[in-house]
Amino acid sequence: MSFGLLSSVYDGQVFMATHSPVLLQLAEPKEVLCLALTDGGATDIIHGDKQPKLREWRGQVGLGALLAAGVLG
């Protein structure tokens, strides 16, 4: 199933979890939820466009490359 097909769902939401840089490369930060474990073991969820490591990001390198390089995740 393609990312384009999933992103064209109207009147609904699709939640897709992935560690794939290829799929992440197709997304915009506002379409991404970043999940991380806190020190207490809870899950912290941050919108991609609010993620501290992406605040200065200007799009020169794709999100998939940032994930593959270990900047995200």
pLDDT digits (tens, 9 = 90+) for 13-48: 888 888 889 888 888 888 889 998 999 999 999 998
Whether residue 46 contacts residue 40, with contact meaning beta carbons closer than 8 Å, is answered with no
pLDDT score recorded for residue 1: 55
Nearest-10 Cα torsion for 24, 51, 35, 16: -30
pLDDT score recorded for residue 43: 95
Instruction: For residue range 43-69, list pLDDT tens digits in order.
Output: 999 998 898 888 777 777 888 888 898
Six-digit token pair at 47?
A: 């919108």
Six-digit token pair at 72?
A: 């995200």
pLDDT score recorded for residue 10: 79
Q: What is the model's pTM?
A: 0.72
